Structure 1
Amino acid sequence: MEYLIEFINNKALLISIFACFIAQVIKIFTGDKLVDLKRITTSGGMPSSHTSFVASLSTIVGIVEGFDSTNFAISLVFALIVMYDATGVRRAVGKQAAILNQMLNDIQHGKHIKNEELKELIGHTPFEVLGGAILGIVIALMFML
């Protein structure tokens, strides 16, 4: 039971989760539709909630333990890997999904084959990652300073 109390009282974790949540809420208003409630549970889009999550955590670790600490270095490296993955690997997967969906559409043209399209909004543009990083840092600073 003590572990649960410690978990609930972990300010760095709670603020980071909050930053991630706020990024997901913002996505409701940044898609193709004026308001799209389905976007609160999807990956991809502006801002990057993954980036907000790790940028907030790194900021908090830097504030609490010092920007010259080993723990800040660990959290920053972790954050940079997440951000690289968001713009690199996950973005490439999204492009591949777009190509596969186009191929399915081409095959279906004139045929009655029912196929479900792959999700294309998986990765992030560098702008979306930057937006997530700024949001995460701002939220961490709001609660920590």
Structure 2
Amino acid sequence: MQDVETILQNKILLASLIACFSAQGLKVIIELIRHRKINFRFFMSTGGMPSSHSALVGALATGVGLTKGWESAEFAIASLFAVIVMYDAAGVRQAAGKQARILNQLLDEFLHDAHHLNAEERLKELLGHTPFQVLVGLAWGIGISILALPVF
């Protein structure tokens, strides 16, 4: 039980999680503004605006830099980890989402009854992020870390 308390006192971890979860919450708000309806699936979905993965790693790297120093090995590790995660979010997963969209369109065209397929049979299309969504997520994470660390 003492280990849990120790983990919950980790300022960098808390700031990073707040950045991630608040970015997920922003997705719901943005969806509400764009489509005038609440879609709670955005709390758990991948893809969309802003990138919660980028927010998390941006807050992590910023928190490490603020607490350990910008010249520290820990900051270098966190920064490189952030770059890899953001590259994956905007590159590999975005490409996989585009491929899924094309495959679903092909399925719709060749199988006239494809619309009866349930969500589990169709490929998930919203997997990755645009570079802009990644940058917004990164900015969100940096901002949350800068604001949250002094509070903790």
Q: What is the TM-score when the length of structure 2 is the normalising length?
A: 0.89
Of 64, 72, 75 in structure 1, the residue corresponding to residue 75 of structure 2 is 72
Match of 1:83 in 2: 86
Q: Are 2:22 and 1:22 equivalent residues in the alignment?
A: yes
Write the mapping of 1:14-53 to structure 2, written as runs, cut at 5 A.
Answer: 14-31=14-31, 33-34=35-36, 35-53=38-56
Structure 1 unmatched ranges of 5 or more: none
Deviation at 1:112, TM superposition (A): 7.0
Of 102, 125, 141 in structure 1, the residue corresponding to residue 130 of structure 2 is 125
Partner-residue secondary structure (3-state), 1:28 = helix
Deviation at 1:114, TM superposition (A): 4.2
**Aligned-residue CA RMSD in angstroms?**
1.5
Structure 2 unmatched ranges of 5 or more: none
Match of 1:136 in 2: 141
Deviation at 1:38, TM superposition (A): 1.5
Q: Are 2:89 and 1:95 equivalent residues in the alignment?
A: no
Mapped partners of 1:134, 1:70: distance in 2: 22
Return 72-81 or 114-123, whichever deviates more: 114-123
Deviations 1:56-115 (A, max 9, x none): 010000000110000000000000000000001100110010011001101222x57843
Gap change, CA 1:112 and 1:54, over 3 Å in 2: closer
- The sequence identity of aligned pairs, in percent, is 47
Mapped partners of 1:141, 1:113: distance in 2: 47
Partner-residue secondary structure (3-state), 2:122 = coil
Mapped partners of 1:123, 1:112: distance in 2: 24
Deviation at 1:29, TM superposition (A): 2.4
Mapped partners of 1:113, 1:100: distance in 2: 13
Deviations 1:31-77 (A, max 9, x none): 35233222111000000000000000100000001100000000000
Mapped partners of 1:25, 1:57: distance in 2: 19
Mapped partners of 1:16, 1:38: distance in 2: 21
Q: What is the TM-score when the length of structure 1 is the normalising length?
A: 0.93
Q: How many residues align?
A: 144
